[in-house]
Structure 1
Amino acid sequence: MALIYSLIFGGAIFMLTYHYMQRFLDWMRFQSLGTRDYIVEMCGKMFIETTPNRVLLYLVCASVGPFILCFLAFLPKVVPGLVLGTLLAMVGWKVPKPIVNYMYQARVEKFNLQMVDGLNLMANAMKSGLSVVQSLGIVVEQMPNPMSQEFNLVLSENKVGVSVEEAFDNLSRRIVCEDVEMFVTAVNILKETGGNLAETFDTIVYVIRERLKVENKIKSLTAQGYYQGMMLLSIPPMLGLYFNFSEPGFMDPMFNNPIGWAILTAVAILEIAGYFVINKVIQVDV
Structure 2
Amino acid sequence: MTLSGAPLIFLTLLFFAVVLLAEGAFYYLRDVHGPKNRVNRRLEMLKSGAMAEEIQASLRRQAQKREKSLATSILDWLELKLNQAGMRLAPERLLMMMGMATLGIAVTVPILLGFVDMLDSLSSLLVVFAFAIGIGVVIPILVIDRKAMQRVKKFEEQFPIALDIFVRGLRAGHPVTGALDLLVEEMPDPIGSEFAMVVAEISYGYDLRDALANLARRVQTTDIQMFVVSVAIQSETGGNLADILDGLSRVIRDRASMVLKVRALASEGKMTGVVLSVLPLVTFLGVFAMQPDFFLDVVDDPWFMPGALGVFSLYSTGILLMRKLIDLKV
Q: Is the TM value for this pair above 0.5?
A: yes
Equivalence for 1:112? 156
Q: Unaligned 5+ residue runs, structure 2?
A: 1-66
Equivalence for 1:198? 242
Task: Note closer, same or farther for the CA distance 1:153–1:124 as it changes in structure 2 (3 Å cut).
Answer: same
Equivalence for 1:170? 214
2:125 is aligned with what amino acid?
Answer: L
Task: From 104, 117, 128, give the equivalent of 1:76.
Answer: 117
2:307 matched to 1:263?
Answer: yes
The answer to whether the 8 Å contact 2:84/2:152 transfers is no
Deviation at 1:253, TM superposition (A): 6.5
**Could you tell me the percent identity over the aligned residues?**
26
TM-score (norm 1): 0.73
Q: Output one character per residue of 1:127-184: Cα deviation in whole Å (capped at 9) or x when no partner.
A: 2222211111111111001211122122222222222222222222222122111101
The answer to whether the 8 Å contact 1:172/1:184 transfers is yes
Q: Higher helix share goes to which structure?
A: 1
Task: From 267, 272, 278, give the equivalent of 2:322.
Answer: 278
Over aligned residues, Cα RMSD in angstroms?
3.6
Deviation at 1:256, TM superposition (A): 3.8
Q: Output one character per residue of 1:93-122: Cα deviation in whole Å (capped at 9) or x when no partner.
A: 465455444433433332222110000111
In structure 2, the residue corresponding to 1:258 is in which secondary structure? coil
The answer to whether the 8 Å contact 2:85/2:145 transfers is no
Task: Note closer, same or farther for the CA distance 1:226–1:54 as it changes in structure 2 (3 Å cut).
Answer: closer
Task: Note closer, same or farther for the CA distance 1:264–1:41 as it changes in structure 2 (3 Å cut).
Answer: closer
Task: Note closer, same or farther for the CA distance 1:260–1:116 as it changes in structure 2 (3 Å cut).
Answer: same
Q: Give every structure 1 segment of 4 or more consecutive aligned residues whose post-TM-superposition deviation is greater than 6 Å.
A: 239-242, 248-253
Deviation at 1:195, TM superposition (A): 0.9
Task: From 269, 274, 280, give the equivalent of 1:225.
Answer: 269
1:210 is aligned with what amino acid?
Answer: D
The answer to whether the 8 Å contact 2:131/2:285 transfers is no
Q: Mean alpha-carbon deviation: is it higher for 73-82 or for 44-53?
A: 44-53
The answer to whether the 8 Å contact 1:75/1:81 transfers is no
Query: In the aligned structure 2, how far is the partner of 1:66 from the partner of 1:111?
Result: 36
2:172 is aligned with what amino acid?
Answer: S
TM-score (norm 2): 0.65
The answer to whether the 8 Å contact 2:164/2:246 transfers is yes
The answer to whether the 8 Å contact 1:140/1:152 transfers is yes
2:174 matched to 1:130?
Answer: yes
2:58 matched to 1:58?
Answer: no
